[in-house]
Structure 1
């Protein structure tokens, strides 16, 4: 599956999803001052073997759905949110990030996906790389990623 993120003016960026069968879907991505939310999903899901939003889309789910159907996608969503919070607020220790993630899962009443400190560092490396690439794009520039 190909993910093409386009940096737009205004309140939204754009994600175009091209599936292996050639079908195309577009998603409006609200600007949030960091990379788009679904790009954070890519960083998390490309490092971990856990199924989340992009994995479900790759399996055929329409991109307009919201997660919440399964424990795995809820666990990934909480992890994505935890990394987003870190991107907005600044780096913390891997132990603190994992503690925050576990608390978020527990407060929502679902399982915690296995995530190691090495996983945290690999995801951070991917997020740093994507942040640099996204930041270097001009308005209407695109960043294409294979998932």
Structure 2
């Protein structure tokens, strides 16, 4: 699947072309200095979370379906605290980790032990375990996200970042 993220001033435009030729697109509001969906890509690809956001999109879910799927499967938010169904565990893990990486963009990064403790607490709020592969991949993920952020932050509006999602 080809993922294209076009940098906007207030929103980013995200479009995909799946391996079967089908397409989808959405507009995503900015949450910080780096594209939220790009961080999802690095986290999910780097940790092998094939059933998280990008994996679900690659398998045919539309962007707008993801929130409904999570809600119906027991997404553990403050208003809907409950044990999530197994098929959304990676989706929730990815979302919590993306939030942790986004938070680090506002200042100097924490040491690895602190990041992992914060990430574990974030995952616990959604009643999912911390992905066990995170500690071994943390430095690589930070490096990839930082490298992307440097290029993204200096790029003009409508700059397009392109990624390839390979299903495993």
Scaled by the length of structure 2, the TM-score of the pair is: 0.79
- Count matched residues: 146
**In structure 1, distance between residues paired with 2:6 and 2:146:** 18
Aligned residue number for residue 102 of structure 1: 120
- Whether 1:92 and 2:110 are equivalent positions in the alignment is yes
**CA deviation map 1:7-33 (0-9, x unaligned):** 123x21111111111222111121233
Contact 2:43 2:98 in 1 (8 A): yes
C-alpha deviation, 1:100, in angstroms: 0.4
Aligned residue number for residue 25 of structure 1: 24
State the Cα RMSD in Å.
1.6
Aligned residue number for residue 160 of structure 2: 142
**In structure 1, distance between residues paired with 2:123 and 2:12:** 28
Aligned residue number for residue 123 of structure 1: 141
Contact 1:82 1:101 in 2 (8 A): yes
Aligned residue number for residue 47 of structure 1: 46
Aligned residue number for residue 80 of structure 1: 98
**In structure 2, distance between residues paired with 1:122 and 1:101:** 16
Scaled by the length of structure 1, the TM-score of the pair is: 0.89
Name structure 2 gaps, 5 residues minimum: 74-87
Name structure 1 gaps, 5 residues minimum: none
C-alpha deviation, 1:114, in angstroms: 1.1
